[in-house]
Amino acid sequence: MPRSESSLLSSLRAAIPAAVLLEDDAAIAPLLTDHRRLYQGRALAVALPRSTEEVSTLLAWCNVQRVGVVPQGGNTSYCGGATPDESGTQLVVCLARMRRIRTVDAANFSMTVEAGCTLAEVQQAAAAAERYFPLELGSAGSCQIGGNLATNAGGLNVLRFGMARALTLGIEAVLADGRVYTHLRALRKDNTGYDLTGLMIGSEGTLGILTAATLKLWPQPRSTATAFVAVSDVAAAVALLAWLREAAGERINSFELLPRNAVELALRHIEGVANPLTGNHDWYVLCELSSFADEALDELLEAALADASAAGLVQDAALCTGERQRAQLWRLRENVPEAQRRAGPSLKHDISVPIAALSEFVAAASDWVRLHVPAGTLVAYGHAGDGNLHFNISFPKEMQATQVAELEPIVRRAIHDLVAAHGGSFSAEHGIGRLKVGALERYSSPVTLAMMREIKRALDPNGIMNPGKLLAAASTS
Ligand code: FAD
Ligand code: 2HG
Ligand code: ZN
Span from the CA of 273 to the centroid of ligand 2 (angstroms): 18
Ligand 2 pocket, 337 CB below 6 A?
yes
Q: For residue 298, give the nearest of 283, 274, 318, 315 by alpha carbon.
A: 318
Query: Does the Cβ of 72 fall within 6 Å of ligand 1?
Result: yes
Q: 195-223 burial, b for 16+ CB within 10 Å, e for fewer?
A: ebbeebbbbbbbbbbbbbbbbbbeeebeb
Query: How high is the pLDDT of residue 3?
Result: 59
Contact between residue 434 and residue 83 where contact means Cβ atoms under 8 Å apart: yes
Angstrom distances, CA of residue 177 to CA of 61, 208, 337, 453, 457: 8, 9, 38, 18, 12
Q: Which amino acid is at 336?
A: V
Residues of the chain below pLDDT 70: 1-3, 474-477
Ligand nearest to the CA of 153: 1
Among 390, 393, 415, 430, name the best residue to mutate to test ligand 2's pocket (greatest count of ligand atoms within 8 A of Cβ): 390
Residue 36 Cβ inside 6 Å of ligand 2? The answer reads: no
Domains and CATH numbers, the chain: 5-96 (3.30.43.10), 101-219 (3.30.465.10), 223-336 (3.30.70.2190), 344-421 (3.30.70.2740)
Q: 166: which DSSP letter?
A: G
Residue type, 464: I
Give the burial string for 37-53 (b: 16+ CB within 10 Å, else e).
ebbebebbbbbbbbebe
CB 307 within 8 A of CB 247: yes
CA of 148 to the centre of ligand 1 (A): 5
**Cβ 265 vs Cβ 340: under 8 Å:** yes
- The set of long-range contacts for 125-130, using a CB threshold of 8 Å and a minimum separation of 24, is 125/101, 126/217, 127/220, 128/104, 129/104, 129/217, 130/106, 130/219, 130/220
Alpha-helical segments (H) within 232-313: 234-248, 260-269, 297-310
CA 5 to ligand 2 centroid distance, Å: 38
What is the reported pLDDT for 477? Answer: 35
- Closest CA relative to residue 382, chosen from 351, 360, 343, 405: 351
For residue 436, which amino acid is it? K
Ligand 1 pocket, residue 385 CB under 6 Å: no
Residue located nearest, by CA, to atom 10 of ligand 2: 390
pLDDT of residue 474: 54
Amino acid at 194: Y
Cβ proximity of 258 and 336 under 8 Å = yes
337 Cβ below 6 A of ligand 1: yes
Report how far ligand 1's centroid is from the alpha carbon of 436 (Å).
15
35 CB near ligand 1 (under 6 Å)? yes
Instruction: Report the separation in Å between the CA atom of 80 and the middle of ligand 1, taken as the mean of its atom positions.
Output: 10
What pLDDT does residue 1 have?
A: 37
Query: Does the Cβ of 390 fall within 6 Å of ligand 1?
Result: no
> Measuring CA to CA, which residue among 390, 397, 332, 424 is closest to residue 79?
390
Helix then strand then coil, % of the chain, to nearest 5: 40, 20, 40
- Ligand 1 atom closest to the CA of 72, numbered from 1: 3
Q: How far apart are CA 255 and CA 237, in angstroms?
A: 9
Q: Helix 5-15 vs helix 52-65: angle between axes, to the nearest 10 degrees?
A: 150
- Cα 218 to ligand 3 centre (Å): 22
- pLDDT at position 473 is 72
Q: What is the pLDDT of residue 4?
A: 83
- Candidate from 76, 157, 197 with most ligand 1 atoms within 8 A of CB, to mutate: 76
Q: What pLDDT shows up at residue 5?
A: 87
What is the pTM assigned to this prediction?
Answer: 0.97
